[in-house]
Amino acid sequence: MAAADQIKSLIKSFGEGDDSRFYATAMQIAAAEARSGHTALADELKKIIDKAKEGKSIALGVVKTLPLNTSQKELKDLLELVHPDEKLKQMVLIPPLEKALKRVLDEQKKFELLRQNNLFPRKKLLLVGPPGCGKTMSARVLASELGLPLFVIRLDGLISRYMGESISKLRLIFDAMHQIRAIYLFDEFDSIGTTRGQGNDVGEIKRVLNTFLLQIEKDDSNSLIIAATNLPETLDKALFRRFDDIIQYPLPDKEDILKLYRRELQHLKKSKKFDFETISSHSLGLSYAEIHKICEDVTKDNLVYGTNEVSEEKIISYATQRKEPF
Ligand X SMILES: Nc1ncnc2c1ncn2[C@@H]1O[C@H](COP(=O)(O)OP(=O)(O)O)[C@@H](O)[C@H]1O
Residues that bind ligand X (CB under 6 A): 91-93, 131-137, 228, 249, 260, 288-289, 292
Applying CB under 5 A, which part among 132-140, 174-182, 210-218, 316-324 lies near Mg ion? 132-140
Residue nearest to Mg ion (CB): 136
**Smallest distance from the beta carbon of 285 to ligand X, in angstroms?**
15
Q: To which H or E segment does residue 125 belong?
A: strand 124-128
Applying CB under 5 A, which part among 128-136, 219-227, 233-241, 298-306 lies near Mg ion? 128-136
Nearest CB to ligand X, comparing residues 26 and 279 = 279
Nearest CB to ligand X, comparing residues 150 and 260 = 260
Applying CB under 5 A, which part among 59-67, 109-117, 133-141, 313-321 lies near Mg ion? 133-141
- Per partner kind, with CB cut-offs from 5 to 8 A, the member of ligand X, Mg ion, none near residue 134 is ligand X
**Smallest distance from the beta carbon of 204 to Mg ion, in angstroms?**
24
The answer to whether the CB of 155 falls within 8 A of the CB of 189 is yes
**Smallest distance from the beta carbon of 79 to ligand X, in angstroms?**
18
Rounded Cα distance, 34 and 49, in Å: 15
Nearest CB to ligand X, comparing residues 92 and 143 = 92
- Residue 122 region, left (φ>0) first, then alpha (ψ -120 to 50), else beta? beta
Residue nearest to ligand X (CB): 134
What is the size of the binding site for Mg ion (CB under 5 A)? 2
Radius of gyration of the chain (CA): 23
Nearest CB to ligand X, comparing residues 43 and 253 = 253
Site for Mg ion, residues 134 to 163, rule: CB under 5 A: 135-136
Q: What are the distances in angstroms from CA 301 to CA 85, 176, 288, 309, 315?
A: 27, 45, 20, 10, 12
- Per partner kind, with CB cut-offs from 5 to 8 A, the member of ligand X, Mg ion, none near residue 92 is ligand X
- Per partner kind, with CB cut-offs from 5 to 8 A, the member of ligand X, Mg ion, none near residue 93 is ligand X
The per-residue b/e assignment along 246-281, b for 16 or more CB within 10 angstroms, e otherwise, is ebebebbeeebbbbbbeebbeebeeeeebebeebbe
Burial class (CB within 10 angstroms; exposed 0-12, middle 13-18, buried 19+) of 71: exposed
Nearest CB to ligand X, comparing residues 92 and 126 = 92
**Smallest distance from the beta carbon of 191 to Mg ion, in angstroms?**
12
Backbone CA torsion sign across 120, 124, 129, 131:
positive
Q: H-type helices in the chain, by residue range?
A: 4-15, 19-35, 39-55, 58-65, 72-78, 95-109, 111-116, 135-146, 155-161, 166-179, 190-193, 203-218, 237-241, 254-264, 276-282, 288-304, 312-323
Nearest CB to ligand X, comparing residues 61 and 131 = 131
Nearest CB to Mg ion, comparing residues 123 and 135 = 135
Rounded Cα distance, 236 and 227, in Å: 14
25 lies in the site for Mg ion, by CB under 5 A? no
Which amino acid is present at 230? Answer: N
Site of interaction with Mg ion (CB under 5 A): 135-136
